[in-house]
Structure 1
């Protein structure tokens, strides 16, 4: 049975995809204008019956048609949720009802523009719209949606996707970065934020009771552009990369980045509930990274694995700064799989490349291993180049111990959104489960949910189940999978 909140669209034809001169609004990047519920989805292949839980993906979906030079990061947040229940699968989607979207709905038009335009001058408190469109995590019975520029997060009902309001945790949080880190073992949520004004970074912990447990300011000399953080069982790792906002562009009300190749990367390793005085600073080679794979403790060392940008040289020994800045500004993809080791006894950093062959990002792990040593990670694979239209044509399973991998792609025009790892009921190993993802299938001109068996090398065999959706789901950003066991803890 399919239940629709609004009328169902006719079958999509070859020429029905939106076409636009702006890549971020073209094809399956274009927004949709409906909130739907589809139940008991049909299956191609065999849908596994040995797992249950919730896969949710966030992404940009402009509520009002943009009349500016639109950037893919500008769209209002929209959640797409897939519920798995031992063989039965359903789907629903809803906009994140942010305060900014509510203000626009009251006015009946868009009031903010985006990254390529000047900031809104009459709202110094929110010159760029907090769309809450970047990431989604589950904590203490609620979904949290977050924004890449660090803004107030929003709480969402995981079953209905109704926005419950802002999540300020009794006033403890007025902004938060896109990537907080929930710990399934303790129920805590570790968060950080960053700002153009002092304090330039803060870090804190929210308890499983949704009460603030800890918060400190991180001493920085000026504003930087961190995107993620890492946690282990006892420590948190915060990032100070030599990528910073361009001060001239900021003064002109625009957004631009500058990389400083003569400065090191710095990492603050602090006990989870530690004071600012307990921070241990470690330096490493100049780099910039968006996303962490995982971190853990290994004897005297704190280990962090992530996917930094690949740095090229303009001449021997000199980083090609302009190339990196263009790569970031044009949303191109060029990454390594990398490891840093911070020795708490000696204060030294060791670092190494795990893989420099594949170009992969959007790393996902089995959530039960967050902050604990893991062997397997799952990434989206990219082709190089492109301009504001990155392609996500495949999935990879990495062995972090050896650097080996297996990969799958149905073809270069397929688009695999960030997947989620769904553990089997009563799993026997770290990789005993499934990878689930929303996928754009260009051959059939349809969006579908794909399910891959992750055990051993089975990912390379392709999806064990495909579930076509009655209408398309636009390409998006980050996702999370919440196991039924975790959901049941907060009923």
Structure 2
């Protein structure tokens, strides 16, 4: 707390302007972003910072790391979480990137650390889960960020240009979900797929916490806009821990058949006190799992999962799906990922054909420097 106050006195801000969580493109411009500040426009060739992007002065608050484009319009749905009111605001940026055409205060009564949102052609899905930022708790020598599993969890469905009064809220089981895989409409239901855990690694796991609660599994919520009914279930088995999901971006907001994730290595993660990912997974949402793990009831209706595994002590980071130019099917493409071998210290880029997912990478490119484990990777085509 003292360091934050000193930062405020010296620099006029509580924290350094990090920009290390994600990279995204909008209107042919490229931005790096974190959670605590507005994005920075970057030169994609030199990585030099060009300027801050505040949408011509219309956005002056934190900017979360997972903005989503609206399929068909090219508009960008953005959002930002703050420790003081308004805790969460959502905005829509024009396809040209020069105008904030809509802004709404969601009027939450707590600062939920919302890292991702869902967007369909008609709705925005808001995650209000009990990973809570509380500066008053910090003053009492508690944790600034804490998961309180006794508090409520809910998902809000808001019309695309709606406001707080137009949100329909659905109570769900308390959980931690940092990343959504996709969201789409199915009849009267809005469906969300995400990577859901039962406890949080932020700011750090409690002693004795089991991996079954700490690491996330693929999960489904079905929210009926007509009846108010909620259906939720796991889609993957009890030892299939995964996060950092990817899909073919052309299917954002509509029903997709496939997704890809990084797969947690629990043993390596606990040994290093950071999540490590020793494999990639391909999820087949329309194909049932043919093998049911011990202790998992078949009525869970688990989906098929295919793996691309790395060698021992080899881990990936920053994975991204790249659609194949001229591809016909949703899974025509590759996964590009940074890979680090902890035994020999070599960093590589691996390219995996998503049609031959469990096979050898089609390319392994050794790079001349270490790429540290990080957060998100992105691939954006550039015309020369």
**Pairwise TM-score range, normalised by the shorter structure:** 0.7 to 0.9
Measured after TM superposition, the shift of residue 118 of structure 1 is 4.0
Partner of 1:167: 53
Equivalent residues in 2 for 1:119-138, closer than 5 Å: 119-123=4-8, 125-138=12-25
Partner of 1:448: 348
* Matching residue within 32, 38, 42 for 1:145: 32
Q: Is the 8 A contact 1:118 1:254 kept in 2?
A: no
The Cα offsets for residues 239-266 of structure 1, whole Å up to 9 and x where unpaired, read as: 1112213555422687533333333311
Q: Secondary structure at the match of 1:419?
A: strand
Partner of 1:395: 280
Name the CA distance, whole Å, in 2 between partners of 1:259 and 1:238: 18
Measured after TM superposition, the shift of residue 324 of structure 1 is 5.8
Partner of 1:44: none
Would you say 1:206 and 2:90 are equivalent positions? no
Q: Is the 8 A contact 2:314 2:342 kept in 1?
A: yes
* Matching residue within 40, 65, 83 for 1:178: 65
Q: How many residues align?
A: 358
The Cα offsets for residues 16-69 of structure 1, whole Å up to 9 and x where unpaired, read as: xxxxxxxxxxxxxxxxxxxxxxxxxxxxxxxxxxxxxxxxxxxxxxxxxxxxxx
* Matching residue within 279, 292, 295 for 2:183: 295
Would you say 1:371 and 2:245 are equivalent positions? no
* Matching residue within 220, 223, 228 for 1:339: 220
Mark the runs of 5 or more structure 1 residues left unpaired by the alignment.
1-114, 313-321
Partner of 1:464: 362
Q: Secondary structure at the match of 1:205?
A: strand
Q: Secondary structure at the match of 2:318?
A: coil
Name the CA distance, whole Å, in 1 between partners of 2:141 and 2:96: 40
Q: Secondary structure at the match of 1:418?
A: strand
The Cα offsets for residues 96-125 of structure 1, whole Å up to 9 and x where unpaired, read as: xxxxxxxxxxxxxxxxxxx9x842424165
Measured after TM superposition, the shift of residue 446 of structure 1 is 1.5
Partner of 1:438: 338
Name the CA distance, whole Å, in 2 between partners of 1:144 and 1:326: 38
Q: Secondary structure at the match of 1:273?
A: coil
Q: Is the 8 A contact 1:189 1:208 kept in 2?
A: yes
The Cα offsets for residues 331-357 of structure 1, whole Å up to 9 and x where unpaired, read as: x95111101111111122111110133
Name the CA distance, whole Å, in 2 between partners of 1:184 and 1:135: 20
Would you say 1:217 and 2:105 are equivalent positions? yes
Would you say 1:477 and 2:375 are equivalent positions? yes
Equivalent residues in 2 for 1:104-115, closer than 5 Å: none
Q: 1:130 to 1:236 in 2, by over 3 A?
A: same
Equivalent residues in 2 for 1:222-241, closer than 5 Å: 222-241=110-129
Q: Secondary structure at the match of 2:112?
A: coil
Mark the runs of 5 or more structure 2 residues left unpaired by the alignment.
289-302
Name the CA distance, whole Å, in 1 between partners of 2:345 and 2:280: 20
Q: Is the 8 A contact 2:351 2:361 kept in 1?
A: yes
Query: Normalized against structure 1, the TM-score is what?
Result: 0.68
Partner of 2:144: 256
Measured after TM superposition, the shift of residue 292 of structure 1 is 0.7
Equivalent residues in 2 for 1:81-100, closer than 5 Å: none
Q: Is the 8 A contact 2:222 2:230 kept in 1?
A: yes
Name the CA distance, whole Å, in 2 between partners of 1:207 and 1:448: 38
Q: Is the 8 A contact 1:376 1:399 kept in 2?
A: yes
Query: Normalized against structure 2, the TM-score is what?
Result: 0.86
The Cα offsets for residues 406-425 of structure 1, whole Å up to 9 and x where unpaired, read as: 11222231121131111112
CA RMSD of aligned residues (A): 2.7
Q: Is the 8 A contact 1:333 1:359 kept in 2?
A: no
Q: Is the 8 A contact 2:83 2:135 kept in 1?
A: no
Runs of at least 4 residues off by over 4 Å: 246-249, 252-255, 322-328
Q: 1:260 to 1:475 in 2, by over 3 A?
A: closer
* Matching residue within 153, 157, 174 for 1:286: 174
Would you say 1:411 and 2:311 are equivalent positions? yes
Name the CA distance, whole Å, in 2 between partners of 1:246 and 1:161: 34
Q: 1:196 to 1:311 in 2, by over 3 A?
A: closer
Pick 1 or 2: higher relative contact order, CA cutoff 8 A, min separation 6: 1
Name the CA distance, whole Å, in 2 between partners of 1:237 and 1:217: 14
Q: Is the 8 A contact 1:257 1:325 kept in 2?
A: no
